[in-house]
Amino acid sequence: MRELRVLLNQTQKVRLQAALQHLRDLSFQASSPAIPVTIADTIPVNREDGILKGHGTLEFNGQVVATQCGVVEQVNKLVYVRALKARYKPEVGDIIIGRVNEIAPKRWRIEINFSQDAVLMLQSMNLPDGIQRRRTAVDELNMRSIFEENDVVCAEVRGFQHDGSLHLQARSQKYGKLERGQLLTVPAYLVKRRKQHFHHLEQYGVDLILGCNGFIWVGEHVVLGENEMPEDQESRMENQEQNFTPLKVRQQICRIANSVRLLSAHGFSLSLEIILDTAEASVSSNVEINDMLGAEFYVQTAEREVQRRASLLKKSRR
C-alpha cells in the first residue's frame, strides 16, 4: 500500500511529536526496555549454558550473534530476534484473505502477503450446489465459475506443504469469495491473532474481516445462509443490478477503510475497538470522509491514542 503522505504545518508537527513521545514513555513504563541489534551484533546473554537460540540468531565463536536487524526478546531460556519489518508468519487456523493469482490443475494459487503463493485445492472448497461428492473432471473444468483470476477470497490455513507454502481450506459458509468492498493492505504485524476475525458492524451495516496476513476486507454485509449460486450469467447479472449497494453503505465502507488506513500509517495495532473508535470520532467531529486522511485528523488520532493508552495503563495498575 502506498504510504500516507501527510503535510503537517508547524503546530501540527509539534503536537504529533509530543503525542509520539508520550506513547514511547507509556510503552516504556509498560514493558521492559528491549535491546535493538543489527546484523552480527553479539546478543548479551547471562548464562552461556542452557540458552536456546531462536529465530534470527546464530552461534559464532562461542557467542550468540544476530542474523537480522531487530529487537532482542527473551522468553525464559529462548532468545530470539524479532524483526521490525516482520514478515507474516503463518500458523494453522489463521484466517487469511488473498487474491487469486492463477488457476492450476485442481487448485487455485492465491497471493497472500507471503514469500510464496498459497494453494487452495478444489477438494478444500465447497461446491456451489452444496453436495458433498467427489470432484470430477467437469468440476475441474468449471473451476473458473467458482473463482476467477483476481478474485478476493477468504480462507483458513489448513497446513503447510513440504516446501513451506500454505495449504488453505474454505469449507465453511463464511469463507469464500468476497465481493462489494475494499481490500486493504497493511503490514502484517499490525494484525494480532484474536478469537474473532470476522466482525459485523451493525451501525454501519458493514463487514470487517481482519486477515492475519495483513489484508483487511471492508465490505457490504453479506447475509450468511444457504446461498444458491446462480448457474448462468444472465440471472447473476440481474441479481447484481437489483442488489445495487446503496450510497450510504458505500460511504460507511469508505469511512471504515480510511480509519484502517490511518491507523496503519501510524503503526498502531489494529483491533475492532480502535477502528470503531476512530470511525466514531470522525463522525462526531464531522470530518469529511476524504478529510480523514488529512493532516488534522492524523494528529488528533495520535493524541486520542495517547489518552486511550494512558487510561488503559491506569486501569491495569489499579
Binding of residue 22 to other proteins (CB under 8 A)? no
CB 56 within 8 A of CB 81: yes
How many residues of this chain interact with other proteins, rule: CB under 8 A? 28
Binding of residue 62 to other proteins (CB under 8 A)? no
CB 217 within 8 A of CB 182: yes
Of the CA atoms within 13 Å of residue 33, those in its CB half-sphere come to 5
Question: Among residue numbers 130 through 169, which ones bind other proteins (CB under 8 A)?
Answer: 163-165
Binding of residue 193 to other proteins (CB under 8 A)? no
Binding of residue 4 to other proteins (CB under 8 A)? no
Q: Which residues pair with 119 in a beta bridge?
A: 109, 167
Question: Among residue numbers 74 through 113, which ones bind other proteins (CB under 8 A)?
Answer: 83-87
Segment interacting with other proteins, rule: CB under 8 A, options 8-16, 30-38, 129-137, 141-149: 30-38
Binding of residue 245 to other proteins (CB under 8 A)? no
The radius of gyration of the chain from alpha carbons, rounded to an integer in Å, stands at 23
Binding of residue 116 to other proteins (CB under 8 A)? yes
Amino acid at 149: E
N- to C-terminal Cα separation, the chain: 40
Find the shortest distance in angstroms from Cβ 302 to other proteins.
Answer: 16
Return the SS3 of 212.
coil
Binding of residue 207 to other proteins (CB under 8 A)? no
- Site for other proteins (CB under 8 A): which residue of 43, 68, 94, 168? 68
Of the CA atoms within 13 Å of residue 52, those in its CB half-sphere come to 8
Helix or strand run (H / E) with residue 199:
strand 198-201
- Closer of 110 and 178 to other proteins (Cβ): 110
Residues that bind other proteins (CB under 8 A): 2-3, 36-41, 56, 58, 60, 65, 67-71, 83-87, 115-117, 163-165
